[in-house]
């Protein structure tokens, strides 16, 4: 699953789709972790979609990831500032790709 200590263990490389990108990245095969308060490891996400269906405040949006070995769309935490820390997405993701840090 996603490394919950990614902020210490990875470097912030910039922003894409409105959220931070935590490397390493080497597209299209390696896309890194996306978002900070709500973080999705794009290299683990296989586009299950439960997070999009269950988030009560619509934090996630699909973004395209053509050529990635796990899936060609990813759940981007575009609206992470709206998160109410309910932890539903963390519970429903079948591959533990999401970390929410209720600071
Ligand atoms: Fe949405 Fe709850 Fe996940 Fe926050 S913790 S992104 S509100 S499902
Ligand atoms: Fe991806 Fe998990 Fe959501 S696999 S689409 S982050 S439920």
DSSP 47-102: ---HHHHH-TT---EEEE-TT-SS-SEEEE-TTGGG-----HHHHH-TT--EEE--
| CA of residue 83 to ligand 2 center, whole Å | 16
pLDDT mean over 66-84: 98
Among all bound ligands, the one having the nearest atom to the CA of 58 is: 1
Share of the chain above pLDDT 70, in %: 99
Does the predicted interface ipTM exceed a cut of 0.85? yes
**Residue of 36, 45, 89, 99 best suited for mutating to test ligand 1, as the one with most atoms within 8 Å of CB:** 89
Q: For the chain, list the domains and their CATH numbers.
A: 6-91 (3.30.70.20)
**pLDDT confidence of 27, banded at 50, 70, 90?**
very high
């Amino acid at each position: 699953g996603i490394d919950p200590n990614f902020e210490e263990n990875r470097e912030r490389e910039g922003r894409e789709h409105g959220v931070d990108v935590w490397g390493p990245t080497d597209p299209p095969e390696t896309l890194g972790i996306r978002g900070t308060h709500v973080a999705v490891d794009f290299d683990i996400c296989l586009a299950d979609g439960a997070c999009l269906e269950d988030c009560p405040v619509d934090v996630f949006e699909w973004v395209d990831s053509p050529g990635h070995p796990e899936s060609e769309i990813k759940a981007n935490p575009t609206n992470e500032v709206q998160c109410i820390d309910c932890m539903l997405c963390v519970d429903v993701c079948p591959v533990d790709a999401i970390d929410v840090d209720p600071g």
